[in-house]
Structure 1
Amino acid sequence: MENKHEIGALILRVVLGFLFFYHGLVKFQGGIENTVGWFDSIGIPGFMAYVVALVELLGGIALIIGFATKIVSVLFVVLMIGAIVSVKFAVGLLGNGQMAGYELDLAFMAMAAALAFTGSNLYSVDSLFNKKD
């Protein structure tokens, strides 16, 4: 039987990857221009919408397949810190009734931080390159 810690890391990696992938996909499907406009309206340069959406989309795929897990996870931690500090912190942990709070961002950040420290090699592309003889 596989190491139970690796199974846990695999679950975290695939679920977090899917969630970030889906968030990035929705930004593009909904018209990235809307996200660009929203970023501009809150004082973040609009081009950052493309950066965030691409990191979410491509990073999500990378996590799902287990490619560069630790690096991608650090990027996701940075994204979540940015989201919390620039937008969500002002509305509180649970939100204000008009906007969601930062509880989900905090959970995503914790999942990503765990993967950044531990990695996840089970069923991963990374394991193909990190074979230990």
Structure 2
Amino acid sequence: MVSKQEIGALILRIVLGLIFFIHGLDKFQGGISNTVGFFESIGVPGFLAYIVAVIELIGGLLLILGLGTKIVSILFVFIMIGAMFTVKFSAGFLDGFEFDLALLAMSVYVLLANRMAFSLENIFFQSKQGYRKRAEV
């Protein structure tokens, strides 16, 4: 039986993945050169725009599916910390870094959580005996 905590973690993981996926998609659809220009205007090397956009796009999709959740989450943590320190803190909390802080907290939760319910990681990497033990608890 799936617990309320597992359902909550599932919702959080999917929403976090969806938000990052859409942000990554937007960077490419809006013209990645615009994002490169923005990065350069704030003193960040432009090539990092490509890295961030790919992490957001692919990482968001992986998070929705429940694959590589720990790795993706830590990458999201780094992206949010970078965004907050380079741009968002100077705008203050409201209309500044409050959304980024929420995404950071969500990413940390997914990073620290045990294996997530309804994730492909559980299907691919959990032994049948481990699954039986979990089911008995």
- TM-score clears 0.5: yes
Q: Tell me the alpha carbon deviations over residues 86-111 of structure 1, each in whole angstroms, 9 at most, x when there is no partner.
A: 1100110113xxxxx00000000000
Alignment identity in percent? 57
Give the Å deviation of 1:120: 4.4
Cα distance change on mapping 1:11 and 1:36 into 2, 3 Å: same
- Of 76, 99, 104 in structure 1, the residue corresponding to residue 99 of structure 2 is 104
Gap regions ≥5 residues in structure 2: 130-137
CA root-mean-square deviation = 1.0
1:89 and 1:67 mapped to 2: Cα distance? 31
2:59 and 2:108 mapped to 1: Cα distance? 14
2:126 and 2:101 mapped to 1: Cα distance? 31
Matched, 1:3 2:3: yes
Give the Å deviation of 1:132: 4.9
Query: Residue 110 of structure 2 corresponds to which residue in structure 1?
Result: 115
Aligned AA for 2:78?
Answer: V
Query: Residue 120 of structure 2 corresponds to which residue in structure 1?
Result: 125
Aligned AA for 2:127?
Answer: K
Q: TM-score, normalised by structure 2?
A: 0.90
Query: Residue 35 of structure 1 corresponds to which residue in structure 2?
Result: 35
1:74 and 1:49 mapped to 2: Cα distance? 18
Cα distance change on mapping 1:49 and 1:84 into 2, 3 Å: same
Aligned AA for 1:125?
Answer: L
* Large movers: runs of 4+ above 6 Å: none
2:39 alignment partner, SS class: helix
Aligned AA for 2:126?
Answer: N
Matched, 1:73 2:69: no
1:131 and 1:82 mapped to 2: Cα distance? 37
1:119 and 1:28 mapped to 2: Cα distance? 33
1:132 and 1:8 mapped to 2: Cα distance? 25
Number of residue pairs matched by the alignment: 128
